Amino acid sequence: MIRLGITYRQAYAWSRTRMGDWAVAQSPILDTTITISRLKRKG
Q: Which domain holds residue 29?
A: 2-42
Q: Where does residue 11 rank: exposed (0-12), middle (13-18), buried (19+ CB within 10 A)?
A: middle
Structure confidence at residue 29 (pLDDT) = 75
| Whole-angstrom distance, CA of residue 26 vs CA of residue 6 | 17
| Whole-angstrom distance, CA of residue 36 vs CA of residue 14 | 21
Domain count of the chain?
1
Q: State pTM to two decimals.
A: 0.50
pLDDT tier at 41, thresholds 50, 70, 90: confident
pLDDT tens digit sequence for 5-28:
788 988 888 788 787 778 777 777
